[in-house]
Each structure stands twice: as C-alpha cells, then as structure tokens.
A = this chain, B = another copy of it.
C-alpha cells in the first residue's frame, strides 16, 4: 500500500494519529517538500518518528517515482506531503500510475491552507477562485491572477492568494547547457505579491482594487 499522508501545516505534531501509524509502519518514508514548506526541518521529523525520510523533490515526483511505486507493491510505503496530499498540488498523476501498476493508494487527509484560512474569521463559503501569484521576471509578467481577483471582488468574494516558492529551480544557464545548477531558494513576500497585484491591475485597467484597498 502507498499511503499519501498529509502532514498538516506547522510541525511534526500536526500529523493525524492515522498518518502517524502509517509512517511508523511503513518500510520506506518519502517527504514531498517542493510545493510547500513545513515550519520545521527534516531532522526534526526524523527524530520524532524515529525513521529516515527520503527527500522527494520535484524531479523525483515528476520523473523518478516508479521506484517508490514498485516498493509499494510488496511493502507499505508512506509518501508524506505538507498540508493535505491533494491540496496545494494534486498528486493525481502519481495516484493514476499507482493504480495502473496495481498498487493500492490510501489518502490520509489533513489541514491545508485552503481550509485553515478560516481562522482569519472570513467565511470559507465566501471565497471565490484561489489565485497563485508567480514571481515576475524581466520578460514574463503574466496578469491572469489579477483578472480572477477582479472577478471575485466584483462578486463580493474573498480571494486566497498563494505566493510563489522557488526551491531547486534550475538556472537558465543550466537549462541551456544540460548540466545541473540550481538557484538559491526564494519565497515571495506579501509586499512583492501586492506590488505585482497592483501592477497587473494598472496594466489591465481593473478598478476593483487599488493602493487604498484594505485586505
């Protein structure tokens, strides 16, 4: 069995009892940690569970996960994901490949920022489409997220904005020359997100929000 275990949002104690048992009873434990980040590091997890966690980065999940699926044919394997396993990123592709290879998948759910945002006091029923704000580059400044926010605001709905994380991104040079070199990790700040939202609104002539809007 391959267990998709949600780790929750903050630390090693946010896992569920069910997830804890799955991790403890698994022969191999993988940690998916490129779409989101826990507030603690891997060694803390390993200490708590008394288990070795194998880091599953983007390359692993997208290209090298067949090995993991094969292991799950004979043994219990835990694939741990920050938040909920089908939250921030759907791991649907992995799920489908498991099914095709005759491996059972069991999802163990947990909190995701998508529901935990309710702690702000805003009604979850009044959120519209979620937006992702990617880092602008010199030549790549997509504004589609602003259109969605404009739309939500016009309907009186809240918008959850997910800010870009760049971890283990290849440099442009390394992509051209086919060797591996990674950029340092970057995490978008709220002020960068706001700057990009304002730029997008200005460029597209949106009027639902501007410098005076409270959030």
Segment touching B, from A58-66, A70-78, A124-132, A171-179: A124-132
The prevalent SS among residues of A at the interface is mixed
Contacts of A90 in B (CB 8 A): 118, 121, 123-124
Of the listed residues A95, A118, A121, the one surrounded by the most CB atoms of chain B closer than 10 A to its CB is: A118
Q: Of B115, B121, B129, which contacts A125 at CB under 8 A?
A: B129
Min CB gap A212→B, angstroms: 25
Q: A18's closest neighbor in chain B, by CB?
A: B13
Which residues in B have their C-beta under 8 angstroms from that of A111?
6, 84, 109-112, 115
Q: Are A115 and B118 in contact (CB under 8 A)?
A: no
Is the beta-carbon distance between A13 and B21 smaller than 8 angstroms? yes
5 closest cross-chain pairs (CB), A and B: A86-B118, A109-B111, A112-B115, A13-B17, A13-B18
